[in-house]
Amino acid sequence: MNALWQIVTLILRGQSKALLRGFALSVTVLTMGAALLGLSGWFITAASVAGLAGTGALFNVFVPSSMVRFLAMGRTAARYGERVLTHDATLRALSDLRVSLLRGLLAQPWRALERLRANAVLNRVTADVDALGGVLLRLVLPGAAGVLVVTGAGVVLAWLVHPWVGLWVAGMWLLCPTLIFVLGQRLARKPARRQEAALQAARSRMVDMVAAREDLAVYGQLSTAQRRVDDAFWREATARRALDAVERRMGFGLDMIGTLVVGGALAIGATLAEAGTLSAAQVALGALAALALGEAVAPVRRALAEVGRMTQAARRVAPSLTTVRAEPSAVAPKGVLMLDAVTSGRFAPVTVRVAPGETVALTGPSGRGKSTLLYMAAGVLLPAEGRVSLGGQAPDEEAIWRQSVVMVPQRHALIAGTVRDNLAMAGPSTDEAMLAALDSVALYDVIAAKGGLDARLGFRGTGLSGGEARRLVLARALLAQPRVLLLDEPTEGLDRETARRVMAGLRAALPDAAFLIAAHRAEDISQADCVIGLQGRAATGLKF
């Protein structure tokens, strides 16, 4: 619940104005609904009294009847406004939440961020955020509006009808649904968690079965895989049944409370009327208002069904939202890049020194730590031993380090949008600078043929071949104008001639930058001033 509360406060802070207006309208809708039914009941009963007494002509019919019409129209209008405003606020909140999630994740440790590439994790994060979108609309707003309206109605009924009636109606409608919510929420916690876990398992097992179908068939494991999917769904259904049962029992409780509140209001009122304390019209007003207030309590049911899911989502999302926003306090480092006897523990310590304008290549079999060294130089992985520095400055603050050191990893991180959008990720630049960068990586003609900087790319940069995507991310790195450029297999997927042109283009575009390259292709290595082979447990340095 703490995590959920954290999310609620975050949303409340961001959207307080829109929410306040939505809240005011929610209260109006509920109040008018209760007033409409209560007034109508009073009007008919009072009219009967006057009719029976033969004083109908003296009865002022116009005020109550126009009030009834006003409430009917006003309620409808307020309802429309409420729906528009609260949905708008929810969408704003969702948008805020997504943006803070992105910001928060950027400040997370690198490894945590890397895991996000798996589809399963991604889907989960987005589903969680979507689930949290309902926090306001189904939990906070109806809850707050319900409490206020029920309390207000209690006061009004105590004044217009009788204190006992007001106390009964407001007390019961406040206390019982709250108890049911707290109890139901607790009872649903465990099955909700089980259900969610089982559904996740089913999902990932289904992915496994379909993706590895052929291998599983050859190894005679297909039936096992199918059974495992079915098992997970079976567990999901079992947990779901438990959840349904909780929901049903709580629903039954809420229904019965409604009956008891109305019955009680009627009994108290009628008894007082028999004693002559109240008029029949007042009894009608009390009973019908009690009935109409059921609308204020109705959202408890929906909230109960969803609060479990929201709590879990909040628990997963909230930690990523805590951001430590530090303004850069030091100047961007420059000078010689030093990796001083660094190791992750999985390979022998390596010392690398790259001066401005120099190119150093790291070679060696896969799994020997080439990429790890680059990530350490990029300041996102901490070496287990040794020290990384640039001009004597350590990568303590990533924001400052990033002003000088930029890395292009093996994968091509492109996003949906135009080529310009993708290039602009490196920071604001002019079209001329962008085109020049494309030219440096021998991509100018390709992009021009596709429609220039406005050419659109699909999700994850679809629409470009592997080699084209590769060169586009290299061009983007150039636009960041780094003092140190870290490249992981930069020309993978390029033919020999293009690879050579790209490497030459990179150097020409950044003549004074230090290049540290993880490579196994001759094209990557040919321009290096120094090649360091990571071989087995010890690194050997060769000076050319």
Q: Minimal distance in Å, beta carbon 59 to another protein?
A: 6
How far apart, in whole angstroms, are the C-alpha atoms of residue 60 and residue 41? 16
Q: Minimal distance in Å, beta carbon 27 to another protein?
A: 18
Phi, psi angle pair for 420, to nearest 5°: -65, -45
Q: Minimal distance in Å, beta carbon 480 to another protein?
A: 5
Q: Minimal distance in Å, beta carbon 54 to another protein?
A: 9
Q: Minimal distance in Å, beta carbon 174 to another protein?
A: 20
Considering the complex, state which of residue 167 and residue 270 has its C-beta at the smaller distance from another protein: 270
User: CA of 463: how far to CAs of 22, 210, 419, 460, in Å?
Assistant: 44, 26, 11, 9
Considering the complex, state which of residue 421 and residue 439 has its C-beta at the smaller distance from another protein: 421
User: CA of 516: how far to CAs of 124, 354, 426, 507, 528, in Å?
Assistant: 36, 7, 19, 12, 9
Q: Minimal distance in Å, beta carbon 427 to another protein?
A: 7
Considering the complex, state which of residue 151 and residue 434 has its C-beta at the smaller distance from another protein: 434
- Closest C-alpha to 7, from 300, 304, 316: 316
Burial class from Cβ neighbours inside 10 Å (0-12, 13-18, 19+) for residue 258 reads buried
Q: Is the dihedral of CA 226, 232, 238, 244 positive or negative?
A: negative
What token pair was written down for 511?
């003549």
Q: Minimal distance in Å, beta carbon 7 to another protein?
A: 16
Pairing mode of beta strands 456-457, 484-488: unpaired
How far apart, in whole angstroms, are the C-alpha atoms of residue 518 and residue 529? 14
Considering the complex, state which of residue 1 and residue 382 has its C-beta at the smaller distance from another protein: 382
Considering the complex, state which of residue 70 and residue 444 has its C-beta at the smaller distance from another protein: 70
Contact indicator for 343, 351 with CB cutoff of 8 Å: no
Contact indicator for 523, 491 with CB cutoff of 8 Å: yes
How far apart, in whole angstroms, are the C-alpha atoms of residue 536 and residue 534? 7
Q: Minimal distance in Å, beta carbon 408 to another protein?
A: 7
Q: Is the dihedral of CA 362, 367, 368, 370 positive or negative?
A: positive
Considering the complex, state which of residue 125 and residue 139 has its C-beta at the smaller distance from another protein: 125
Considering the complex, state which of residue 250 and residue 435 has its C-beta at the smaller distance from another protein: 250
Considering the complex, state which of residue 230 and residue 385 has its C-beta at the smaller distance from another protein: 230
